[in-house]
């Protein structure tokens, strides 16, 4: 069993889903990995991970719109408002999605389904530098 690790940095420009599949795929290729498990971990509480449809870009727009509706800004009951009106909604949206993911690797690549893509979901209005820890365990 072998073990690799690195940290990916994703520069965001405000609320949206940012594709990170290629970033992860090329790292796995560089490591000459054959099979095992890939672990992703986001070191933030206002950004998260989502695996969703990568073919039609409107699928992503609807996921973003859903979040604006289920966890909108400026609710009178928010108490955590020090850092702005997007602060509490961003923690709620992160809670509803994923901080960690584990994805199988087979035959040298991520075993994503045909239409699956991996996204970093930025929940803050402004852009940020987001850190995604990438770990791998398996057979080279």
The site for a copy of itself (CB under 8 A) is made up of 1, 3, 5, 35-37, 39, 41-45, 50-53, 56, 58-59, 61-63, 65-66, 69-71, 77-80, 82, 87-88, 91-92, 94-104, 106, 111-116, 131, 133, 135, 137-139
Can you say how many angstroms the Cα of residue 7 is from the centroid of all Cα atoms in its chain?
A: 13
Residue 25 makes CB contacts below 8 A (sequence gap 6+) with 109, 110
C-beta of 128: minimal distance to a copy of itself in Å? 12
- In eight-state DSSP terms, residue 102 is E
Q: Give the CA-trace dihedral at 21, 16, 133, 136, to 10 degrees.
A: -30
Find the shortest distance in angstroms from Cβ 68 to a copy of itself. Answer: 9
Distance from C-alpha of 70 to C-alpha of 90, rounded to nearest angstrom: 11
Check if the beta carbon of residue 137 is closer than 8 Å to that of residue 3. Answer: yes
Total Cβ atoms within 10 A of residue 101: 16
3-state SS assignment for residue 51: strand
Residue (22 or 95) nearer to a copy of itself, CB = 95
Closest approach of a copy of itself to the CB of residue 28, in Å: 15
**Taking the complex as a whole, how short is the minimal distance between the CB of residue 83 and a copy of itself, in angstroms?**
9
| Least distance from a copy of itself to the Cβ atom of residue 40, Å | 9
């Amino acid at each position: 069993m072998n073990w690799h690790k690195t940290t990916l940095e994703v520069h965001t420009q405000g609320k949206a889903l940012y594709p990170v599949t290629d970033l992860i795929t090329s790292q796995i290729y560089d490591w000459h990995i054959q099979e095992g498990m890939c672990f992703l971990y986001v070191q933030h509480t206002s950004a998260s991970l989502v695996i969703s449809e990568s073919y039609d870009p409107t699928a992503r727009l609807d996921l973003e719109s859903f979040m604006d509706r289920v966890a909108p800004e400026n609710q009178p009951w928010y108490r955590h408002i020090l850092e702005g009106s997007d602060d509490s909604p961003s923690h709620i949206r992160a809670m509803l999605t994923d901080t960690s993911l584990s994805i199988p690797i087979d035959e040298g690549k991520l075993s994503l389904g045909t239409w699956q893509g991996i996204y970093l979901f930025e929940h803050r209005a402004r852009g940020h530098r987001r850190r995604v820890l990438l770990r791998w365990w398996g057979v080279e």
